[in-house]
Structures are given as structure tokens and as C-alpha cells.
Amino acid sequence: MLNIKENISLKPFNTFGIEAYGTYFVEINSIDDFLLLLKTDIYINNLKLIIGGGSNILFTKDFNGLVIKNNLKGIELINETTDEVIIKAAAGENWHEFVQWSIKNNFCGLENLSLIPGCVGASPMQNIGAYGVEIKDVFYELEAIHTITGEKKTFKKDDCAFGYRESVFKTKYKNQFLITSVSFKLSKHQNLNTSYGAINTELEAMGINKPTVKDVSKAVINIRQSKLPDPKITGNAGSFFKNAEVSKEKYESLKSQFEEIVSYSLPNGNFKLAAGWLIEQCGLKGFEKNGAAVHAKQALVLINKNNCTGTAVFELSDYVLQKVFDKFGVILEREVNII
């Protein structure tokens, strides 16, 4: 049964905790719900915004259209060999709960992605990543429905053009598909990835020298909780900007001026710069304006410190962009979806 509501506050539906109103709002609990919705006048005649957990969205104004909250549920084992399983999770499943489910079943591959907020359906949108793993590393396929024709389509990994915080769903197919499920290929063996330095340090601090999949998850959770704000307490959407990619020449010129610059070399010869470091060097850690602030423990994260507006967060992000450009000549790119 479709229940299209009118003039709904979107504050509970975005982790920034920003007040904004949606002209129409509907939750879909089945694929049939969505196919039914496609035929309604409200759907046909309005702008649409699909949301999961609202943890990568900044509302800078009311949304004059139809907000569709994806609530599709279910986790299914669809294939199993001696070494691997394919697990299909519906788009509305909570990401972290799904990761914990896979760990409980001793399936390996998602543990480094513990505690990322949001839903499974959004995970391919920006190819979520953390602590040395991106979902492209374990992605098998996804199912989606075209938002105009209602046609069902399966996307294999090669169809998704996954990159750093990128996919085809943010570019060529922007707003064209509702993702209904994502399938992952997980290992039945303990193929752990602890290459990200902080994980090993944390495991050591936990007194663990032969980690299990559960230990790695716990280490990642501990690291995250030590620096990232909990959206239930402080509104935020994780990293507001992407780390910046620069050419070798630009990197070398910066390195000669700023010896301590935090960087990683990339396979294409370019360098990735830790944007959090750039922002911190501009003296902006903890900087606050109109209730929006740069998080004091992680400068890449902007927070709703004091019941601010989305515009205040956006203006702060402009200010940060300008300061980083003035000091380093590096243009940061926003990671969060601005509405």
C-alpha cells in the first residue's frame, strides 16, 4: 500500500539533522510498491529524490518534489562454493547491520567497512570505502529499476565504472535508476586486509596478534569512534570533501614547501593528498560559522554544531575550499550530495 504524505519534515531523514521540507514523501517496502508509484500523477509530475539513510546528503533548501525512502528488506545467500558465497542484500537494509550479519556468519570481505552509516542501496553510488577496502573489491552485481520505464536491469562490476567515491550512478546514469539490491562475493576464509596502518596499531592495542574477521571489524569500529562524530549526537555526513588527486609535478612542488604533507602515491603516477591535513594546516580545525563547524578531531568532516541551516554548512564548505586553494593551490571537491 502506497502512503504518499505531503509537506513532511526531512530532518529525521538526514544525518546532518538539517530542517528541510519535502512536498511529497513516500516509503517503498517492495518492488511492486515502486512499480505502482511509477504510474501515479505525483510521481510523473514531480522531481524525485531517492534516499536511504540520508547520510551523504546536505539539504540546502526544501525539496520541491517527491522524496522516495527505500525500505526494501531481506538478505539472501544465493550461491555457495567451498571458498566463497554470494550474498544478496536488499537496498533498504542498514549497511552496518548487514556487515555485522556477514561477520556473524564468518564471511570475510566487509569487515573494514564496519560502522559506515546508511543503507546497502547507496553503497555502490559512491563505491563506499574505508580502511583500505572499497565495495568494488567485493561487489558481485546489483539490481535496479529504471526510474522512468520501470525496466529491471542487472549491473555487473564492469558496468558500474567504480572509482574513488565514484560510479556510473553519480555520472552517466544520475537519477536514472532505483537500486533495489546489491550482491557481494565474500570469502569463507579469513583473507583479512590489515594493510591500513591504523588497523594493526589498534589490533596491537587490543592485545590481538592473530585477528579474526570480528577483531578487524572491532578495530575499525574503535578507530572510527575515536575520530568521527556520531550522527545521533552531532549532525554530519562523514567526509565532506574527497581527498585531492594532484599530478607528480604539483605534488613535488607542494612537498618542497610543506615537507610534512600527507600523501599517497597512485598507480597512475599522480598523488593523493589527505584533504583533512590540508584543511587542518589552514587553521580551520574546530572553526565555526553560523552554527556549522569543521570537526575538531577530523577536519574533513563538517558538522551541524549548533542547529544550523544547510546553507550555513554549504557556505562553510565554500570558505574551506577557498582557504585550501589560497594556501595550496589545490581545488577540493565535495563528496556529499548537495540538494
> Among residues 48 and 165, whose Cβ is nearest to ligand EPU?
165
> Among residues 58 and 254, whose Cβ is nearest to ligand FAD?
58
Active site residue 239: yes
Cell reading at 123: 553503497
Site string for ligand FAD, 59-98 (x = CB under 6 A): -----------x--------------------x-------
Q: What is the DSSP string of 172-202?
A: TTTTTEEEEEEEEEEESS------SHHHHHH
**Binding of residue 17 to ligand FAD (CB under 6 A):** no
Name residue 202's amino acid.
E
Cβ contact 124:160 at 8 Å: yes
Choosing from 93, 111, 141, 335, the catalytic residue is 335
Residue with cell 504524505: 5
Site string for ligand FAD, 117-156 (x = CB under 6 A): xxx-xxx-xx-xxx--------------------------
Site stretch for ligand EPU (CB under 6 A), options 1-9, 11-19, 88-96, 270-278: 270-278
CA distance 29 to 135: 25
* Residue 124 near which of ligand EPU, ligand FAD, none (CB within 5-8 Å, type-dependent): none
CA distance 173 to 110: 26
CA distance 321 to 315: 10
From the list 230, 238, 196, 187, the residue with the least C-alpha distance to 216 is 196
**Binding of residue 280 to ligand EPU (CB under 6 A):** yes
Angle at 190 between CA 188 and CA 196, to 5 degrees: 130
**In 230-291, alpha helices (H):** 248-257, 275-281
CB 299 to ligand EPU: min, Å: 3
Active site residue 334: no
**Binding of residue 118 to ligand EPU (CB under 6 A):** no
CB 234 to ligand EPU: min, Å: 14
Of 103, 216, 335, 339, which lies in the binding site for ligand EPU, with binding defined by CB under 6 A?
335
**Binding of residue 276 to ligand EPU (CB under 6 A):** yes
Residues 176-235 that bind ligand EPU (CB under 6 A): 227
> Among residues 125 and 254, whose Cβ is nearest to ligand FAD?
125
Residue with cell 568521527: 228
Task: Name, in order, each residue with C-beta under 8 angstroms of 318's C-beta and a sequence gap of 6 or more.
Answer: none
**Binding of residue 310 to ligand FAD (CB under 6 A):** no
Would you call 162 exposed, middle or buried from its count of C-beta atoms within 10 A (0-12, 13-18, 19+)?
A: buried
- Give helix then strand counts, H and E, for the chain: 8, 20
* Residue 280 near which of ligand EPU, ligand FAD, none (CB within 5-8 Å, type-dependent): ligand EPU
CA distance 117 to 131: 15
**Binding of residue 299 to ligand EPU (CB under 6 A):** yes
**In 48-156, alpha helices (H):** 95-104
| Active site positions, annotated | 165, 239, 335
Q: What is the contact surface with ligand FAD in residues (CB under 6 A)?
A: 15, 49-57, 70, 91, 116-119, 121-123, 125-126, 128-130, 177-179, 228, 231, 236-238, 337
Q: What is the contact surface with ligand EPU in residues (CB under 6 A)?
A: 130-131, 227, 238-239, 242-243, 262, 274, 276-277, 280, 285, 298-300, 335
